Homo-oligomer: A and B are copies of this chain.
């Protein structure tokens, strides 16, 4: 009686039962095994035959094996292309397969642009709704409502504050009423957002970038990029922004874009069924996220490349650019009342910068780096406290309290009362002679002077300086408590805001310094009386860039985002300088950016490809088991179903090496736990005549079937689920080589051999824990495998 191939049976069953299309063909192809050249066939099959319904899927909170996924995709690709000329249907399928990447990035771009447009519009409307409403069309925000009277800019009778609508009050009472409405509005919005997030999509909280980065690094968090998260985050992000908390919509937009990428990939089996391929699309989606957040496609792509993505082949670069452009294009066309430029803060300075200004720019860079180091440490400490104390049990209450404080304290300062985005725009702008706001209130000693800066500060500016300083301190403190609340919280805008406030202050200071001491040799050559010399707005821009770069530890992406915003290469040298200073100053206190910090806080297994490994350990210092016992292994031809069931029940390993015999443990292959469990389940369900003592063998052909079929028990063949070419390293390989292999190949585990015999297993978790120990960190903080 021939051996029963359980997996094959199961597969044919499955494929006939519910999913005829793909697995069936794979199996019929291999159903007549070639008797010659067995070893080679075996290995080919290994790669081909694992393609069935559930085998090869990953569990939640587990790491994927990039190499295996890439191998699976190549099999799929081969299958389709070999059959391309068989029939018209197959030809269409091949064509569909070829263009599906472009279709998918197009869809992602369209969706990301649309979501961003929706969020933008809703956030503005809700934000204004705290203050008043449009009497003509209630669904219009203040800008749209007053669109017709833009030219006048002063009076807009269509827009009414709540005090104007409901009651006739004195001026003081109006202020109090509006203040009250503002605070209550903010609390309602943020509480509603917190309730929605807690009730419907807990994953929709936070910025999402740490998790997106972890997922792109090859980790599975089911539901994190699901439709519910997409929906709830799209709904709650504008509420959170409108409640004037110190947060932005930029991080959440990256998460939302990634959700779009995941949701739409369900339409394309090529991407849905392959975790590595799916991540290529998620990288493109992340690029689209930043692209729509700021209107900077190239900056978005570089953000995805530098900060988010792990595996970024060249074709992904190209598709990311496409995706980012499509989304920015859509956003620009969805925004009928917006400015003509699609970038968030389009500024065009009329003057160049001077060489001596590199000194204050470097200072601002360093300040940005120091601020961000302090922020990262404080925020991580607070988040750790929240996690480990009872505070974490009351997320809604926490949101309410933070909103209350932010709104009550923020309303009294004009720079915190308006949203962070318009505030930053105010700060980075140049003062033109016709401008009348406080920031441009200089004492015009000479009416002929066209330059408003070349003068002592006026009363308005004096007030403004004081307000800016208060706003700066307040923003610094409150952002620390805001990032990590259980609502969508982005960090780009608050970081830019803190930086811009400081930069503007320093800029005004520089300007006054030059005005007071015009003969200082540093600037006497560049600055002349009656002519502009420094632009405080540029200082705000530079400091904003430094602060952003410090907090996120982006470098190139931060510079490119800022230079796309300023629309020119003219200021690239100051921007680069400040980013470099910020990075150097920040690195003194730790190389970790805020996102890496949060990844560590959550215990995700993220192997940073940017870090270098400089230690002398060998792989046998790191592998498990450490003692000289080889690891729990499956023996090729000797084990029984009972033994396997026992093994699965008593251990929690993610996979088992398959060895040649109990004594001579030559490595044959590797079997994933999940695949083994599935195969055993199927064996019990569909194989006749088996019991606990049935022999299982992991070879292609039963090597003497007769002796295993005693008592009418059929032997079970589990060859098809064994990976015959696991990555192996020799027992005396230095860890630096092993780390290189883990980072570059994206493998999940490597088998350690000694003269061909299995000596141990080293997993990604082992590597991460080893690195944590070397860095003096707690290795048990890495929770997942």
Contacts and interface: CB of A to CB of B under 8 A. Distances in A.
Interface of A: 39-40, 42-44, 46-47, 67, 70-71, 74, 77-78, 81, 295, 297-298, 301, 305-306, 313-315, 317-318, 321-322, 325, 328-329, 342-343, 555-556, 559-560, 563-564, 567-569, 572-573, 576, 580, 609-610, 612-616, 618, 620-621, 660, 666-667, 724-734, 736-737, 740-741, 744-745, 753-757
B325 A576 contact: yes
A509 to B, nearest CB: 27
Contacts of A726: 730
Contact of A573 (B42, B325, B732, B737): B325
Contact of A734 (B563, B725, B741, B756): B725
B314 A614 contact: no
Pairs of residues from A and B, 7 with the lowest C-beta to C-beta distance, nearest first = A756-B756, A43-B732, A725-B733, A744-B744, A755-B756, A666-B755, A314-B610
Given A47-B616, A321-B556, 10 more contacts: A43-B734, A70-B736, A298-B298, A305-B317, A314-B610, A342-B569, A725-B734, A728-B728, A744-B745, A754-B756
Contacts of A47: 616, 734, 736
B67 A740 contact: yes
B43 A321 contact: no
Given A731-B39, A745-B741, A78 B616 contact: yes
A737 B725 contact: yes
30 contacts: A40-B618, A43-B618, A44-B616, A44-B618, A46-B732, A47-B736, A71-B734, A71-B737, A74-B736, A78-B614, A295-B569, A298-B298, A301-B556, A306-B314, A314-B609, A315-B610, A318-B555, A322-B576, A322-B580, A325-B572, A329-B573, A342-B569, A660-B755, A666-B756, A667-B730, A725-B737, A726-B730, A728-B728, A740-B745, A754-B756
Contacts of A728: 728-730
A731 B37 CA distance: 13
A569 B737 CA distance: 43
A595 B616 CA distance: 41
B560 A298 contact: yes
Contacts of A44: 616, 618, 734
A297 B329 CA distance: 24
Contacts of A318: 555-556
Contacts of A745: 740-741, 744-745
A74 B725 contact: no
Contacts of A740: 67, 70, 745
B569 A564 contact: yes
A451 to B, nearest CB: 21
B736 A71 contact: yes
Contact of A42 (B295, B315, B621, B732): B732
A325 B559 CA distance: 11
B572 A297 contact: yes
A42 B613 CA distance: 20
B74 A612 contact: yes
Nearest to A314: B610
A733 B81 CA distance: 22
A745 B754 CA distance: 22
Contacts of A754: 756
Given A40-B732, A576-B322, A732-B42, A67 B737 contact: yes
Contacts of A725: 729-730, 732-734, 737
A726 B666 CA distance: 19
A3 to B, nearest CB: 21
A666 B757 CA distance: 11
Nearest to A555: B318
Nearest to A301: B556
Contacts of A81: 614
Contacts of A298: 298, 560, 563
Contact of A576 (B321, B660, B741): B321
A609 B77 CA distance: 18
Contacts of A618: 40, 43-44
A721 to B, nearest CB: 16
A39 B315 contact: no
B736 A732 contact: no
A482 to B, nearest CB: 29
Contacts of A666: 755-756
Contacts of A610: 313-315
A461 B675 CA distance: 73
A620 B40 contact: yes
Nearest to A43: B732
A340 to B, nearest CB: 10
